[in-house]
Amino acid sequence: MKKDVFNPADWNAAASEKVPAAPSPSVGASSNPPSMGVGINPSILAVVDAVEASGIDITSTYSDWMAIAFALVSELGENGRAIFHRLSRFYPYYDPSDTDRQYSACLHDGSREITIASLFHIAKTHGIVVGREPKSSRPPVPCPASSKLQVEDDEDMRKSNSIISVVLTPPDEPSPFPENSNSIKIGTFSQTIRDQLPDILKRIVADSVSSVDADLLILGSLTVFSACMPNVYGVYDRREVFSNLFLYVTARASAGKGRLSLCRHLVAPIHRELRNRYSKSTEQYKIDLHQYNLNKKDGDAKEPEVPPFLTLFIPANSTATVVYQTLSQNDGVGLLFETEGDTLANAFNSDLGNYSDGFRKAFHHEMISYLRKKDREFVEIVKPKFSAILSGTPQQVFNLIPSAENGLFSRFIFYVMPTEIVWHDMFDENETTADELFKEIGQDFYQFHKMLSEHTIHFKLTVEQRQQFNAFFSLTQAEYANLFGDDIIASVRRLGLILFRFAMILTVLRQMDDGDLPFPASNEDKKSESILECADADFSTALAMVKVLLQHSATVFQSLPRRDFYKPRGQRAANDKRQAFFNALPDTFDRAAYLQAAASLGISEKTAERYILELCKSSLLAHPSIDNYQKNPVGVSRH
């Protein structure tokens, strides 16, 4: 069925009747138009008033915006349109025609059984609670599983499909910290799992200053520990996998991501032991080499071998050959810990430093091979067991991973930290500093690690856990594919492997709690393999973490360019000319500049104007004032 083309003039004529003027956030709740108050549940109007009084944008993510539309359609039908506009106005790039078109699509296609309760839930996640949340006054309207929104192209009149999917429900507990209105609302997990963590993680979380900080410390700790369990493995998708994780924490400046560096103390004793062993072997090598030089004329003299370079930490600003050599000399084990993501990005951009393919292979423990210049020796790292922690600004994510199709994206755990507008006490009278606390915990883990390294452990999920695992990811994969397209499937699937690794690390760490180790202790049985079954508490913890991390991954995914970034949802075809036009635009420009860029690519003025409009609607461009455009920073897009 062909949709009528929306006429802005019709909107302007009716706007005053449908939507009152947007209030200033500092002004109290605006009065409702008389036509809106009749027959509408007072609690719905109370939510609208609270939003307008606070100036909070509860529509910042596309899924929430769409769910609110469906909720209003289910409860009010056409009468909910004006309310939808009032709730949408606080989005920084609010477009009345875009909003009107979205509501019409939802009205036409039904509610997908999303009731008015979704509106109250979304408002609650933003700190807006209006008392008892009423039940829907009418049953939900079912609609097909793949509803479509038809959009008409203003140039070639082609029709394209746009999938409208069910909202992904955020955690029940709203974040206690206010966020920038441009931020995408995403949840935290620490508040739901901290009581069931292994003791070592409980000690770490006890030093946190917020739920976001606790998340950060948990993820950082699990990642550094993942580099120190090379003898623990499990079977996933019929392949042997180890505990190694890749973590990228992204936040704006001063958001608190620097606390991640505390996690380095947790494994520093293991690194120091390796460095001390290397120093001693180097001294012995010098002695042996001197003795060899004295006696090399003798036929029996044998030149000593250069000792392997032992280390746990591997610098990010190394050449690819150095990284591979270091991994090779440490039995494939290594940890890259870099607090500035650009350091690794710069290394990848250099002629000799691009080992991103090694990253991708190491995630799956696939063989890495390289040729040493000395003696032209061909070296193979059979099963790399490599972990990585990076942090940086949203722009630094883009510098390292320039598109969502880049293979590195799906291998990383992403955590997006909000900028919390809270001032913490900088003069805590606790005599133990955070560094001292983490050093103490690191010593305890070091003792456990010495014992752990003497045994091989085979980690397994229970039958019930496997069933729950498969059921969750079967549903989640379908939901995220509908919501974000096929390109996100790789991230969802690899988060399945990450969940398995989370559970593995948590269950191993739990063995520290009472010292009841499941592996043989006698010297003659050191090489024996022991079975370690996942504790239910650790599986539920890992699952709760991944449910939230899916939101964080989707947030970063939406911020990265894709081949189809300018297309309505559901379409996967690339448009090289439009991509080239976007790439040719400077960070800040006016109409004359974008027309000049278009002319250089052979793009007509009319087409360039349409491209600019679509880029603004997709939030890849901002239009802050008349004849003023700018490319948006990563991480603020809704669509």
What pLDDT, in 10s, does the model give residues 571-613?
Answer: 333 344 766 787 788 888 999 999 999 988 888 888 888 888 8
Is residue 122, in this structure, part of any structural domain at all? yes
Is residue 311, in this structure, part of any structural domain at all? yes
Give the CATH number, domain containing residue 263.
3.40.50
For the chain, the average pLDDT equals: 76
| Residue 97 and residue 208 in one domain | no
What pLDDT, in 10s, does the model give residues 405-421?
Answer: 778 888 999 998 876 65
| Residue 396 and residue 543 in one domain | yes
* Residue 185: per-residue pLDDT: 53
Are 588 and 629 within 8 A, CB to CB? Answer: yes
Domain count of the chain? 3
* Residue 484: per-residue pLDDT: 74
Residues ≥6 apart with Cβ < 8 Å to 369: 378, 379, 380, 381
| Residue 25 and residue 117 in one domain | yes
| Residue 545 and residue 601 in one domain | no
| Cα atoms found within 13 Å of the Cα of residue 52, Cβ hemisphere only | 22
Global pTM?
0.60
What pLDDT, in 10s, does the model give residues 280-326?
Answer: 999 999 998 888 888 877 777 788 889 999 999 998 888 888 888 89
| Residue 365 and residue 242 in one domain | yes
What average pLDDT does this structure show over 3-30?
35
Q: In the listed set 515, 537, 562, which residue is the last one of a domain according to the structure? A: 562
| Residue 330 and residue 470 in one domain | yes
* Residue 95: per-residue pLDDT: 81
What pLDDT, in 10s, does the model give residues 147-173?
Answer: 323 222 323 322 222 222 222 333 333
| Residue 209 and residue 271 in one domain | yes
Are 339 and 258 within 8 A, CB to CB? Answer: yes
127 has pLDDT over 70 = yes
| Residue 516 and residue 599 in one domain | no
Is residue 290, in this structure, part of any structural domain at all? no
| Residue 134 and residue 266 in one domain | no
65 has pLDDT over 90 = no
Beta pairing class for 246-250 and 378-381: unpaired
Q: What length is written for the chain?
A: 639
Report how far apart, in Å, the C-alpha atoms of 54 and of each of 29, 47, 128 are.
8, 11, 9
| Residue 551 and residue 606 in one domain | no
Is residue 189, in this structure, part of any structural domain at all? no
Is residue 16, in this structure, part of any structural domain at all? yes
Question: Helices H, strands E: what count in the chain?
Answer: 22, 15
Closest by Cα among 339, 336, 384 to 223: 336
Is residue 180, in this structure, part of any structural domain at all? no
188 has pLDDT over 80 = yes
**Residue 384 host element (H or E):** none
| Residue 245 and residue 128 in one domain | no
- In the chain, % helix, strand, coil (3-state, to 5) comes to 50, 10, 40
What average pLDDT does this structure show over 554-569?
60
| Residue 412 and residue 547 in one domain | yes
Domain that holds residue 43: 8-160
Give the CATH number, domain containing residue 588.
1.10.10.10
What pLDDT, in 10s, does the model give residues 324-338?
Answer: 889 999 999 999 998
Is residue 231, in this structure, part of any structural domain at all? yes
Is residue 284, in this structure, part of any structural domain at all? no
> Quick one: what percent of the chain has pLDDT higher than 70?
73
403 has pLDDT over 60 = yes
